C-alpha cells in the first residue's frame, strides 16, 4: 500500500509537470516528462490521458487516435 501511494504520487507529479509544460507550449518537454515514467506505468489511464492531451495540443491527431484506442 505504501509503494502504491508512492507510485501514484510519482505519476501525479509527472502528469502535472507534463501539463505545465503543455500550457507553456513546450511540447517536447511535456513529452520528455511522460517518457521518464517507468515502463510498467506507461499504460495507466492517467498517463495515456496525458499523452492524448499532448498529442491533440501538438496537432498530432493520428498519434492521439492510436493512444486512445
Three cell numbers at 53?
492531451
pTM summary value:
0.86
Q: What is the pLDDT of residues 49-64, one digit of tens each?
A: 999 999 999 999 999 9
In this predicted structure, what is the pLDDT of residue 1? 63
pLDDT tens column, 18-54: 999 999 999 999 999 999 999 999 999 999 999 999 9
First vs last C-alpha separation in the chain: 30
Per-residue buried b or exposed e for 27-61, using 16+ beta carbons within 10 Å of the residue's own CB: beebbebbeebeeeeeebeebeebbbbbbbebeee
Task: Flag whether pLDDT at 3 surpasses 90.
Answer: no
Question: Within 10 A of 21 (CB to CB), how many other CB atoms are there?
Answer: 19
- pLDDT category, 4, cuts 50, 70, 90? confident
Amino acid at each position: 500500500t505504501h509503494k502504491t501511494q508512492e507510485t501514484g504520487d510519482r505519476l501525479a507529479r509527472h502528469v502535472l509537470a507534463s501539463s505545465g509544460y503543455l500550457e507553456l507550449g513546450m511540447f517536447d518537454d511535456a513529452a520528455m516528462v511522460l517518457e521518464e515514467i517507468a515502463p510498467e506505468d506507461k499504460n495507466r489511464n492517467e498517463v495515456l490521458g496525458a499523452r492524448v492531451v499532448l498529442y491533440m495540443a501538438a496537432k498530432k491527431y493520428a498519434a492521439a487516435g492510436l493512444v486512445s484506442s
